[in-house]
């Protein structure tokens, strides 16, 4: 499967569709999920064209991988849910069909602001 340049997050990265931006740097863009499942529901996506976490782990540069992980931490801090606040959150990536992935551009969901509950339903 090749990367679909017309997926919704590719359009957001190109500025063709608006988003409620939380954070942006060289490696990542973060914005609020359009259909939040918890009080805080943010998405963190790499700027590079990666379909999912497997694609990213196989093909991204070390700098991009570090940038992604650091981006999650920066966003959690900006949202006031990082572990140093005493709160915490859940980071989750759906991968492929069985994983329930709908948008074919890697994204981490960050859920927080309340107890997140069961890991899998």
The residues, ordered by sequence, that sit 6+ positions from 85 with a Cβ below 8 Å of its Cβ are: none
Cα–Cα dist 20/79, whole Å: 13
Q: Does 33 bind ligand AMP (CB under 6 A)?
A: yes
Size of the site for ligand AMP (CB under 6 A): 13
The residues, ordered by sequence, that sit 6+ positions from 116 with a Cβ below 8 Å of its Cβ are: 38, 89, 90
Q: Does 94 bind ligand AMP (CB under 6 A)?
A: yes
Closer residue to ligand AMP, CB minimum distance, 33 or 64: 33
Q: Does 69 bind ligand AMP (CB under 6 A)?
A: no
Q: Is 107 a catalytic residue?
A: yes
Q: Closest approach of Cβ 70 to ligand AMP, in Å?
A: 21
Inter-CA distances, 61 with 29, 75, 88, 118, Å: 17, 21, 28, 33
Q: Does 100 bind ligand AMP (CB under 6 A)?
A: yes
Question: Residues with catalytic annotation?
Answer: 107
């Amino acid at each position: 499967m090749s990367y679909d340049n017309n997926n919704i997050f590719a359009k957001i990265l190109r500025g063709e569709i608006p988003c409620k931006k939380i954070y942006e740097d060289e490696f990542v863009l973060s914005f609020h999920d359009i259909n939040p499942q918890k009080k805080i529901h943010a998405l963190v996506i790499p700027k590079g064209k990666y379909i999912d976490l497997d694609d990213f782990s196989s093909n991204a540069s070390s700098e991009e991988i570090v940038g992604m992980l650091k981006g999650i931490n920066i966003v959690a801090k900006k949202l006031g849910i990082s572990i140093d606040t005493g709160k915490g959150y859940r980071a989750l990536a759906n991968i492929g069909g069985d994983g329930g992935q709908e948008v074919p551009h890697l994204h981490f969901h960050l859920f927080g602001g309340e107890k997140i509950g069961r890991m899998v339903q």
